[in-house]
Amino acid sequence: MAQGEVLGFEEYVRTRQDALLRSARRLVPDPVDAQDLLQTALVRTLGRWDGIADKSLADAYLRRVMINTRTEWWRARKLDEVPTEQLPDASVDDGTEQRADRALLMDVLGVLAPKQRSVVVLRHWEQMSTEETAAALGMSPGTVKSTLHRALARLRQELEDRAARSGESEGAPAPARIPAQRDRRHDERGRERCAA
């Protein structure tokens, strides 16, 4: 491999390593395994770097190498089976609770404006950085931060309102307002007094 190709690969790794590590974290749950997965994929890609004609597709190539590597690891894992007289009691998670949480999340996201929903999905679902989100949506990083802040506050409020409504319908007392709301009303009254 030519010296220029090696330098190009090193520069690519420097600029894209955070995004690639996030992709690895989506493939394996353990952070240490994710780092190992990324390093293995980078080593395998280095030998083929000069064969990637369109370097803008390098992320996709590396993700495919990580997926293939993870599959190889999964197939090669050693399963330890221990015979026993009685099977242990093990609860089986049927995923009902997880599906209910997902359905609630998808429903609650509907209260957000389209721009807010896009920011929340890219930042928290896709785990993009503020800068990546800003570039994807064509806005400044500061706008991404303020939009995300307002969107999360709106989501919290919607969840609290729903909890209060479901508590009232079951005869339970409604939950108290959160302190941040009381403080804001208190601050507004204070400003009104100062202005008078």
185 and 153 in a single domain? The answer is yes
pLDDT at 125: 80
CA distance 149 to 169: 30
Low pLDDT (below 70) residues in the chain:
1-5, 78-81, 91-92, 168-196
Q: Do 113 and 61 reside in the same domain of the chain? A: no
85 in a domain, yes or no?
A: no
C-alpha–C-alpha distance, residues 187 and 8, integer Å: 55
Shared domain check, 70 and 115 = no
State how many domains the chain has: 2
Last residue of a domain, one of 59, 75, 91: 75
Q: Note whether residue 155 is domain-resident.
A: yes
Q: Can you give the residue range of the structural domain that contains 39?
A: 3-75
Question: What per-residue confidence (pLDDT) applies to 140?
Answer: 95
Kindly report the CATH number assigned to the domain that includes residue 45: 1.10.1740
Tell me if the pTM is above 0.85.
Answer: no
